[in-house]
């Protein structure tokens, strides 16, 4: 078996394996960029109807797929596959086995549902797509392929979508569901730098930077130490955070199939904006707090993005893009940015061990690159009741090791009731699927407790996708029946 040979080769890895320019020309562009000049996007969830035609479509598509090296111009296209999708495309069981368990088992496996907190209203039986209500293997709603389309404006995206839909339909695939993210300007801060999610907070400030990607050049020492992460954490085939090679998927006759590929975690999250506003305001009144400050305490940043660690008493738009902080030195007791706040859970930086240097090193073994966009119209600022429109975030994360990266963040940090020594509370924004949660605001002299937190975020769909390198797409396209 092919895996046997490479398995041995991997354990005898001679020296560092680092990416070069050819790597980024083969890696799909989404790994490197969120395409911020592409204001419009369409996410098409596809089903494979005719495997051999679909393989030919993939082979053709490989020529149009945006790579990490190509500059963004008129349009960007990326494509990813679920495990049922690869099976539908004709991969053998022995080949699928070489993919990691979370990918082959899927996001909805029973134990995974527990560890991700997909319970109550977020239970996969309720999902719009990717869930268990629809037979994941064969049903009409099975999601096999994710086609991501990006263009600068409405005209261009309409043209791109029409053209690609015609090609995929002719290529033996059909559209199961379409997600239309909001155009970007609507979710950007005035200086155009970061998006604003529906609860009203700037989002996307803190992203890891891939080593040897070019994006890691010219950073300050501190920024580099905090944010530059081994390429193998985000692209298969290169040294990961342990200076080892993460095993990659292999096909018969194509042992390097997985190289330059990675995994996408996609979750469609609906946000109850009216619920968030009313609960924060009523709890703020009960606790004699400023509602804006209490909301910031839940998030860990003010609306502008300014981190609480740097400005605890008021929003400071001058600090809006600031990511230049750590917890151990400035806020060891959580009295500025609460231990349980969303950003501290999502990336605890140097705070989880007594030794901050070691803590940062370990936290950086669990980083993800976020590439999501918001969907649904914004709720007017003064609204306190829901308007019946669904809105939220299509969470898209890039990682090479789903278990050690996305799932770890979700389970061991976000949803962990004992995170950082806390007791019986979960992330107040996204880790509280069945409601009734508690949130401790560390304060002097005495902490405050936000109670009866409803669930503000409900999972509506999701799946794990493999995002192959462009060479691998060609391999897939050229496979005989």
Partner 1 sequence: MSAKTWTGVDGQCAFTVFTRIEGGKSGADAVVAILTPIGDHVATNDDVPFAQLAGLHFASFCAVPLSSGDWYLVFEGNVDGTPADFLRELVGRAGPKLREIYGHCLDFPVGDAATDEAVLTYLLAHDIGADTFYVGWAGWSVERIRREKALRDAIEALVESPGFTVPPDADLATFHAAIRDGIAGDPQLRWTSEPPTRPAVVRYGRLALVGILAALVLVVLRLVRRAAGPVRSAARRRAGRSLRILVGLLVATAVRLRTAESDDERRDRQRSPGWQAAYDEWSRHLGKVRVREDEQVQNHMISVIPIKPGWFRLAVLRTVLWVINLAARLWWNRGELGGIGSIHFARWVIPPDGRDLIFLSNYDGSWESYLDEFIDRASVGLSAVWSNTDNEVGFPATRWLVSGGARDEARFKAFARRSMWPTTVWYSAYPSLSVANIRTNMAIRDDLPTSLDPVSDDVWLGRL
Read off the DSSP letter of residue 190.
Answer: T
**Interface pick for partner 1 out of 183, 214, 247, 317 (rule CB under 8 A):** 247
The residue among 20 and 354 lying less far from partner 1, judged by its C-beta, is 354
Binding mask 45-64 vs partner 1 (x if CB under 8 A, - otherwise)? --------------------
Pairing of strands 209-210, 202-203: unpaired
CB of 386 to partner 1, least distance (A): 30
Site string for partner 1, 357-386 (x = CB under 8 A): -----x--x---------------------
CA distance 370 to 398: 6
Considering only residues 437 through 476, tell me which ones interact with partner 1, judged by CB under 8 A.
Answer: 442, 444-447, 449
Positions 16 through 35 that interact with partner 1 (CB under 8 A): none
Sites for partner 1 among residues 294-333 (CB under 8 A): 333
In the complex, the smallest distance separating the C-beta of residue 370 from partner 1, rounded to whole angstroms, is: 20
> Cα angle at 266 between 71 and 421, to 5 degrees?
115
Judged by CB under 8 A, the residue of 174, 252, 412, 434 near partner 1 is 412
The whole-angstrom separation of Cα 171 and Cα 193 is 38
Total residues contacting partner 1 (rule CB under 8 A)? Answer: 48
Q: Does 335 bind partner 1 (CB under 8 A)?
A: yes
Please identify which residue in 404, 431, 461, 465 interacts with partner 1, judged by CB under 8 A.
404
Q: Report in angstroms how near the CB of residue 13 gets to partner 1 at its nearest.
A: 10
Residues 75-134 that bind partner 1 (CB under 8 A): 97-98, 101, 104-105, 109-111, 114-115
Backbone angles phi, psi at 202, to 5 degrees: -60, 140
Residues 6+ apart with CB under 8 A from 418: 424
Torsion 341-345-350-353 (CA) sign: positive
DSSP secondary structure letters along 153-186: SHHHHHHHHHHHHHHHHHTTEEEEEEE-BPPGGG
Q: Are 248 and 258 within 8 A, CB to CB?
A: yes
> Tokens representing 340?
């349980």
**Residue 354 or 381 with smaller CB distance to partner 1:** 354
Asked if residue 440 lies in contact with residue 420, where contact means CB atoms within 8 angstroms, the answer is no
Backbone angles phi, psi at 42, to 5 degrees: -135, 130
Residue 7 touches partner 1, criterion: CB under 8 A? yes
x-or-dash pattern for partner 1, window 196-235, by CB under 8 A?
A: ----------------------------------------
The one among 15, 140, 423, 481 contacting partner 1 by CB under 8 A: 423
Task: Give the whole-angstrom CA distance, residue 400 versus residue 419.
Answer: 24
Q: Are 305 and 322 in contact (CB under 8 A)?
A: yes
Asked if residue 242 binds partner 1 (CB under 8 A), the reply is: yes
Strands 145-151 and 40-48: antiparallel
Structure tokens that stand for 454 in this block: 């409803």
DSSP state of 307: B
The correct pick among 64, 225, 411, 474 for binding partner 1 (CB under 8 A) is: 411
Query: Residue 373's beta-bridge partner residues?
Result: 394
Residues of this chain that bind partner 1 (CB under 8 A): 1, 3-8, 10-12, 97-98, 101, 104-105, 109-111, 114-115, 240, 242, 244-247, 333, 335, 362, 365, 403-404, 407-408, 411-412, 416-418, 421, 423-424, 442, 444-447, 449
């Amino acid at each position: 078996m092919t895996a046997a040979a490479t398995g041995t080769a991997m354990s005898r890895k001679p020296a560092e394996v680092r990416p070069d320019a050819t790597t980024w020309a083969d890696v799909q562009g989404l790994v490197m960029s969120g395409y911020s000049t592409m204001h419009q996007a369409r996410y098409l969830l596809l089903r494979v109807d005719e495997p051999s035609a679909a393989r030919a479509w993939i082979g053709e598509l490989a020529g149009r797929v945006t790579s990490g090296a190509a500059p963004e111009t008129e349009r960007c296209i990326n494509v990813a596959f679920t495990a049922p999708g690869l099976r539908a495309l004709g991969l053998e069981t022995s080949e699928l086995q070489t993919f990691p368990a979370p990918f082959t088992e899927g996001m909805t496996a029973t134990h995974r549902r527990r560890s991700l907190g997909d319970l109550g209203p977020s239970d996969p039986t309720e999902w719009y797509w990717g869930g268990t209500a629809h037979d994941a293997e064969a049903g009409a709603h099975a999601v096999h392929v994710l086609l991501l389309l990006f263009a600068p404006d409405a005209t261009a995206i309409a043209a791109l979508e029409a053209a690609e839909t015609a090609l995929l339909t002719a290529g033996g695939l059909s559209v199961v569901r379409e997600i239309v993210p909001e155009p970007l300007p609507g979710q950007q801060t005035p200086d155009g730098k970061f998006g604003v999610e529906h609860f009203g907070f700037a989002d996307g400030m803190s992203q890891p930077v891939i080593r040897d990607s070019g994006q890691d050049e010219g950073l300050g020492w501190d920024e580099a130490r905090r944010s530059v992460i081994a390429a193998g954490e985000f692209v298969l085939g290169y040294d990961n955070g342990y200076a080892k090679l993460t095993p990659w998927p292999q096909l018969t006759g194509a042992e390097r199939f997985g190289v330059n590929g990675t995994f996408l975690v996609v979750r469609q999250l609906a946000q109850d904006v009216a619920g968030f506003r009313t609960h924060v305001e009523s709890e703020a009144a009960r606790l004699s707090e400023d509602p804006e400050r209490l909301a910031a305490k839940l998030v860990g940043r003010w609306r502008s993005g300014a981190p609480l660690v740097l400005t605890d008493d008021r929003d400071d738009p001058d600090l809006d893009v600031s990511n230049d902080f750590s917890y151990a030195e400035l806020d060891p007791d959580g009295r500025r940015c609460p231990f349980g706040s969303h950003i501290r859970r999502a990336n605890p930086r140097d705070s989880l061990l007594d030794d901050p240097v070691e803590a940062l090193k370990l936290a950086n073994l669990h980083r993800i690159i976020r590439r999501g966009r918001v969907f649904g119209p914004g709720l007017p600022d003064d609204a306190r009741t829901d308007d019946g429109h669904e809105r939220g975030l299509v969470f898209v994360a890039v990682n090479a090791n789903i278990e050690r990266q996305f799932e770890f963040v979700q389970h061991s940090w976000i949803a962990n009731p004992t995170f950082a020594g806390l007791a019986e509370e979960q992330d107040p924004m996204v880790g509280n699927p069945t409601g009734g949660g508690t949130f401790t605001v560390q304060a002097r002299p005495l902490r405050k407790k936000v109670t009866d937190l409803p669930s503000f975020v409900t999972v509506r769909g999701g799946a794990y996708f493999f995002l192959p390198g462009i060479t691998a797409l060609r391999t897939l396209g050229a496979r005989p029946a």
